[in-house]
Amino acid sequence: MLEPGYVVGVLVIIFAITFALRAVPFAILEPLRESRFVLTMAIWMPVGVLAVLAASTFRSTAGADPGNLLKAAIATVVTAVVHLTCGRRTLLSVGLGTVTYVLLVNLF
């Protein structure tokens, strides 16, 4: 049986580490808000995420079933078009691209 002091000590350490990992990025970001690097990353990071998701989808699709490659390409185009035409809303574009892919795979 573990001693209560040991359990409390571990929980305090876990809390401190978790809090620090969540608070530090916000604390160091405040002085960098006007930084050219941060502004550039805000523009290009969503595009990078979309590129990685697309590459991952193409890799797994081409390996599993080459017939789904065209469906993945169509979903990628939908994702890119929605992203560029709807104000670069990443959640919307990735969501619609995913829904497009799932519908194409399951209906055709």
pLDDT in tens, 50-60: 788 778 877 87
The domain of 7 spans 1-33
- pTM (predicted TM-score): 0.54
Cβ atoms of 72 and 98 within 8 Å: the answer is: no
Same domain membership, residue 26 and residue 52: no
Banded model confidence at residue 104, pLDDT cuts 50, 70, 90: very high
Same domain membership, residue 24 and residue 51: no
Cβ atoms of 86 and 96 within 8 Å: the answer is: no
For the chain, what is the mean pLDDT?
86
Of 81, 79, 77, 68, the residue nearest 108 (C-alpha)? 68
Average pLDDT score over residue span 59-75: 79
Lowest mean pLDDT among 14-18, 54-58, 95-99: 54-58
Same domain membership, residue 94 and residue 50: yes
pLDDT score for 33 = 78
Banded model confidence at residue 67, pLDDT cuts 50, 70, 90: confident
pLDDT score for 30 = 78
